[in-house]
Chain A
Amino acid sequence: DQQVKQNSPSLSVQEGRISILNCDYTNSMFDYFLWYKKYPAEGPTFLISISSIKDKNEDGRFTVFLNKSAKHLSLHIVPSQPGDSAVYFCAGGSGGTSYGKLTFGQGTILTVHP
């Protein structure tokens, strides 16, 4: 039972353009969502999060949008930079502000071309 799905295994974008990474979930109990970035041979690095009571959260070049009725979230990166090339994971969690265990999607490989 895949509770979090990232249906695009890869995405290729030109430098300076927008990257949009998508994520769908089935577990209605999730009350917050996070995006992580992972470079080869390193652990995941936290990027941005959003509470289920919000529909948008922005941090610099990164914006996460949440559509609860569609059980869908997306990460927008504007403008995209070559250093953004990595694997991006979305994750859902429950437990309010206690940030309990996370359920991850399979990841999307983002390649930003100069």
Chain B
Amino acid sequence: DTGVSQNPRHKITKRGQNVTFRCDPISEHNRLYWYRQTLGQGPEFLTYFQNEAQLEKSRLLSDRFSAERPKGSFSTLEIQRTEQGDSAMYLCASSLQGDGPQHFGDGTRLSIL
């Protein structure tokens, strides 16, 4: 069990640029979740996948955000035309449907200049 892996750990970019984050879940986990956490707050749900199907999206996920999990393994989260308000920690978690809690990665911290 190598845990949930997220890359990069830290991303610094200029406002208006596009960014993409990657998440590799625990290998046998079929569910994958994305959350966003800002300072002083708990993680907020963004979206989740069961295998390759995106089952739910939060209203927090504006049109500039898109997530994919093309082969039901790793997932990417892309933010287009980044804004200052996108600065946050982006957390990925995975779980096995019907068995056990979500296990989180260490996150990708996004800083918008």
B40 at the interface (CB under 8 A from A): yes
Question: Between A and B, how many residue pairs show CB distances below 8 Å?
Answer: 58
Q: A98 with B48: in contact, given A42-B106, A46-B103, A106-B40 (CB under 8 Å)?
A: no
User: Is A44 in contact with B45, judged by CB distance below 8 angstroms?
Assistant: no
User: Is B101 in contact with A89, judged by CB distance below 8 angstroms?
Assistant: no
Contact among B42, B56, B101, B105 for A46, CB-based, below 8 A: B101
CA distance A104 to B42 in the complex (A): 5
Q: A99 with B106: in contact, given A105-B42, A107-B42 (CB under 8 Å)?
A: no
Min CB distance B88 to A, Å, is 14
User: Is A99 in contact with B105, judged by CB distance below 8 angstroms?
Assistant: no
Residues in chain A near residue B45, CB distance under 8 A = 101-103
Nearest-neighbor residue (CB-CB) of A6 within chain B = B42
Instruction: Produce 1/0 per residue, A15-59, CB < 8 A to B.
Output: 000000000000000000010100001111110010000000000
* Count of chain A residues with a beta carbon within 8 Å of a chain B beta carbon: 24
Residues in chain A near residue B21, CB distance under 8 A = none
Chain A residues numbered 81-101 whose CB sits less than 8 Å from any CB in chain B = 89, 91, 97-101
Residues in chain B near residue A107, CB distance under 8 A = 40-42
Which of B4, B91, B93 has most A Cβ within 10 Å? B93
Interface of A with B (CB < 8 Å)? 4, 6, 34, 36, 41-46, 49, 89, 91, 97-107
Interface of B with A (CB < 8 Å)? 4, 31, 33, 35, 40-45, 48, 56, 58, 91, 93, 95, 97-107
